[in-house]
A and B are shown apart, each in its own frame.
Chain A
Amino acid sequence: MTTAPKLDANFIKTFAAAALETLRVQCSFEARVGKPFIKGQGEEVESAIAGIIGLTSNVFKGTIAIAFPEKTFLAIMGGMLGESFEVMTPDLEDGAAELMNIVFGCAKKSLSEKGFTVERAVPTVVKGKNVEIRHISTAPILIIPFESPAGGLQIEIVLE
């Protein structure tokens, strides 16, 4: 069985806390963190849209993504923009990248305090039916699942 390296355990905690903070403050959206797992060893959400950022640091490189089923994403955008959305529109799509941006910014502060200097690339958005995120590495993909009344979402982290 594949186990996550120690570095990833720090990342799980840091990024989970950053995601909860971002959703709560920016989107008035309350979620709960589930039990993290390695991709292929747990139940994932069927993502319709994801925001992805490439990371580089003094000790690793990798990618991190936040992925949402359509229903969850629309509920989160509704909270962020103060209106309700029934369908996905192109105008909402950059919201996935912006949320990833904010989650990263939140996490970066904590990671800096732990001695990791992390820089990021410009975030991108992928969308589609049950979208598969292409990470730059073949290392195991860590999934941090979140639950909410509007449905699930997940963060994917790959580091090497």
Chain B
Amino acid sequence: MFSKDTRILVVDDMRTMRIVIKKTLASLQFTNIVEADDGTTAWSELEKAMANQTQFHLIVSDWTMPKMTGLDLLKKVRTHAKLTNLPFLMVTAEADAAQVKEAIAAGVSGYITKPFSADTLKEKLAAMHERITKAG
């Protein structure tokens, strides 16, 4: 499992969902969390973190957002040399097969569908961490 001091970027345009994810992560003992309300503000946070040498270790992002979607953010992250291996968990209300395929093709590390419980998020994070660790 990710260590408790993992620096996490939570991205969602809905404030209430950011709170839900933050509180759920906090219940799993993760407290080093930064919020962004869209893919564009998330990208600014990532650039700021790289400039300050305070890199994020995990992104938890919604898919459907107005300015830059979670998928576009994922694609941008995967094409940046310093961020290409950054674990990326996609959170979405829609989980049809085509969408999942698209996210996998873009290099998503994990996928969680709303509604979700704290236990589901914990399982997804653990499975994602195991896959990433095995892949080396």
Contacts and interface: CB of A to CB of B under 8 A. Distances in A.
B6 interface: no
Nearest to A80: B20
Interface residues of B, number: 19
A26 B120 CA distance: 11
Given A21-B115, A82-B23, A98 B96 contact: no
Given A25-B116, A26-B114, A81 B14 contact: no
Given A25-B115, A26-B115, A109 B95 contact: yes
B16 A26 contact: no
B127 interface: no
Nearest to A112: B96
Contact of A26 (B20, B66, B95, B96): B20
Contacts of A77: 16
Nearest to B94: A105
A97 B114 CA distance: 14
A63 interface: no
Contacts of A21: 115
Contact of B114 (A24, A82, A92, A105): A105
A98 B117 CA distance: 16
A106 B16 contact: no
A101 B92 CA distance: 10
B4 interface: no
Nearest to A81: B19
Contact of B93 (A95, A105, A112): A105
B21 to A, nearest CB: 11
Contacts of A25: 115-117
Interface string A61-89: 00000000000000001001110000000
A102 B14 CA distance: 12
B15 A108 contact: no
Given A80-B20, A81-B16, A109-B96, 17 more contacts: A22-B115, A26-B114, A26-B115, A77-B16, A81-B19, A91-B15, A94-B14, A95-B14, A95-B16, A98-B14, A98-B16, A101-B114, A102-B93, A104-B94, A105-B114, A109-B94, A109-B95
